[in-house]
Amino acid sequence: MVEALVLSLSDVGEEDRIVTFLTREHGLLRAAAGGARSLKKGRTAPIDLFVRTRIQVAYREQPGRLSRIRAAEVIEPYLLIRESYSDLCAASYMSELIIRSVQESDPVPGVYELMMNSLKLLKGEGNVFRTILIFELRLLKEMGWDPELEKCLKCGDVIKGKSVFSPLEGGVLHVKCTGQGPQPQISAGDLAFLRFITNRSLHSLGNLKLNEAKSSQLFRIVHPFTTHHLGFEPRAIKVLNSLPGWSI
C-alpha cells in the first residue's frame, strides 16, 4: 500500500477515471481507478480531490500502459477544505504547481510534506493568501529553484535596507546596482518576511503573523519569479483572482 494525495481527476469514458496522485515515495503517480475497491465504507470516497488515501497499485508492465488502482482507503478526507470555496481554489492552485513541477517516478519527499502542511494550514484557518505565499516560496526551495534573497545579484554584497526584486535576474539587487530605470522596490521588512518563510522550519510557519493584505502584497512580488522560472502561468491563478481582495 502507498500513501497518496489525490491532486486531480479526469473521467475517461463511462467507467474509468485517471487519477493523479502525489506520493512521498514515487513522486507523481498517474493511474486508472475504474473498478477500484473501497476498503472501508465511510462518508468520503477514497478517490476524491484532496483526499489523503492509502492505495494498492498494480504497476504497469509495459511502457505506455497506465498503472491501475486495485483498492483504496481514506486516511484523512480534509472535509473542511472541500466545504470552503476559497480553500478549494487554493488547493487546486497548489496541485497545479506540483503537477507541473514534480515528475513521475522522481520523488521529492519535501514537496509531499509541504502539501500536507499547506492543507493543514488551510483547514478552517481562513488565511488563504498566507498559505499560498508560504507554499509557493517553499515549493521553489524544495525544487532547488528558490530566488536569491541574501546577496545582491550584481555586486555580491549582503542586502540591507531597501532593494529591488528582479524576477528576470532571479532575486534581489541593491537599488543602486539595478541598471535599468526605476523598478518596484521591496522594503527591508518585507525581504525579512520572505527570508523567514524560505529558511524556517515548515512547522514554525504555522504561527507566522501575516495578515491577508501583506500576504497578497508579498505574493505579488514572488509570483512573477515563479511564472518566469516555470515558463507558464498556472490556470488556477484565474480562480484565485476571483476571490475577494486578491489580484495578481
Grid look-up 491501475 returns 68
Q: Does 152 bind Zn ion (CB under 5 A)?
A: yes
Binding to Zn ion by residue 151, rule CB under 5 A?
A: no
For the bound state, the minimum distance from the C-beta of residue 142 to Zn ion, rounded and expressed in Å, comes to 28
Residue 229 CB, nearest distance to Zn ion (Å)?
22
- Applying CB under 5 A, does 162 fall inside the site for Zn ion? no
- Between CA 20 and CA 4 the distance in angstroms is 9
Question: CB of 241: closest distance to Zn ion in angstroms?
Answer: 34
Q: Please, which residue, 28 or 173, has the CB nearer to Zn ion?
A: 173
Stretch that binds Zn ion, among 11-19, 135-143, 154-162, 231-239 (CB under 5 A): 154-162
Long-range pairs, 33-41, Cβ under 8 A, ≥24:
33/68, 33/69, 33/72, 34/68, 36/68, 36/69, 36/70, 36/71, 36/72, 37/70, 37/71, 37/72, 38/71, 38/72, 38/73, 39/71, 39/72, 39/73, 40/73, 40/74
Cβ proximity to Zn ion: between 65 and 162 the closer is 162
Return the residue of 155, 192, 213, 248 that touches Zn ion, per CB under 5 A. 155
Site for Zn ion, rule CB under 5 A: 152, 154-155, 174, 177
